[in-house]
């Protein structure tokens, strides 16, 4: 039986996808579900996922990603957006997440810790960093499904916002390009275990 480590070893950044081979709605749903189940600090899940399969929207995303080949040839993209404004300690969003996380227990200690963090950190940078947990889960799930993937962190934020109608209270964190990779996985190049 394949192990999780097998999927980790098989995952690589595909830079060129096969034209005309779609990523199905059910595959996209499973990849998004893997992201939804990812861990997050304080249980805040400070993200939302935008699935894009429409050719016009994909082209706009590719332009926002500086026409990188992975973005330009992807059959689908999932854009991970950090929920920045929702993370205000007094927001309804935070209140609901803390109540869920506390499971009926007192939320005072969670609030105390979170207020200290929120005061000390740049909320936008912190939230985008949290989105990487969801991205890691999604990339591994895509590999498990036999999909190629490429995480893209280099993009024109203004253009990406315009392409997808992302509000000013949110921050694009990462684009995940998906499809059927056009070439076999190259040998892994990693530092020695020691």
The per-residue pLDDT for range 16-63, each reduced to its tens digit, is: 999 999 999 999 999 999 999 999 999 999 999 999 999 999 999 999
Q: Does residue 53 contact residue 23 with C-beta atoms inside 8 Å?
A: yes
Q: Is the pLDDT of residue 194 over 90?
A: no
Q: What is the spatial distance between Cα 138 and Cα 78, in angstroms, rounded to a whole number? A: 9
Q: What is the spatial distance between Cα 186 and Cα 163, in angstroms, rounded to a whole number? A: 33
CATH topology of domain 4-84+129-179: NADH Oxidase (3.40.109)
In this prediction, residue 2 carries a pLDDT of: 63
Q: What would the mean pLDDT of 106-115 be, rounded to a whole number? A: 90
Q: What is the spatial distance between Cα 80 and Cα 83, in angstroms, rounded to a whole number? A: 10
Q: What would the mean pLDDT of 146-160 be, rounded to a whole number? A: 97
Question: Could you give the 3-state DSSP secondary structure of residue 80?
Answer: strand
Q: What is the spatial distance between Cα 50 and Cα 32, in angstroms, rounded to a whole number? A: 9
* Mean per-residue pLDDT of the chain: 94
Q: What would the mean pLDDT of 159-188 be, rounded to a whole number? A: 94
Q: Where are the domains of the chain?
A: 4-84+129-179
What is the pTM assigned to this prediction?
0.93
In this prediction, residue 185 carries a pLDDT of: 84
Give first-to-last CA distance, the chain, whole Å: 27
Query: Which of 105, 120, 95, 106 has the alpha carbon at shortest distance from 43?
Result: 95
Query: Sign of dihedral through CA atoms 139, 43, 30, 56?
Result: negative
Q: Is the pLDDT of residue 5 over 90?
A: no
* Share of residues in the chain with pLDDT > 90 (%): 80
């Amino acid at each position: 039986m394949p192990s999780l480590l097998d999927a980790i070893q098989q995952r690589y950044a595909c830079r060129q996808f096969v034209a005309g081979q779609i990523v199905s709605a059910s595959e996209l749903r499973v990849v998004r579900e893997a992201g939804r189940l990812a861990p997050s600090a304080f249980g805040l899940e400070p993200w939302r996922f935008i699935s894009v399969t429409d050719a016009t929207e994909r082209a706009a995303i590719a332009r926002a990603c500086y026409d990188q080949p992975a973005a330009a040839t992807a059959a689908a993209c999932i854009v991970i957006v950090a929920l920045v404004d929702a993370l205000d300690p007094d927001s309804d969003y935070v209140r609901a997440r803390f109540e869920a996380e506390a499971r009926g227990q007192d939320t005072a200690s969670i609030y105390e810790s979170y207020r200290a963090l929120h005061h000390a950190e740049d909320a936008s940078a912190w939230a985008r960093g949290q989105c990487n947990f969801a991205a890691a889960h999604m990339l591994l799930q895509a590999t498990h499904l036999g999909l190629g993937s490429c995480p893209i962190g280099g993009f024109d934020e203004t253009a990406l916002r315009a392409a997808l109608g992302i509000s000013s209270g949110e921050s694009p964190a990462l684009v995940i390009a998906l499809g059927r990779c056009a070439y076999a996985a190259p040998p892994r190049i990693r530092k020695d275990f020691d």
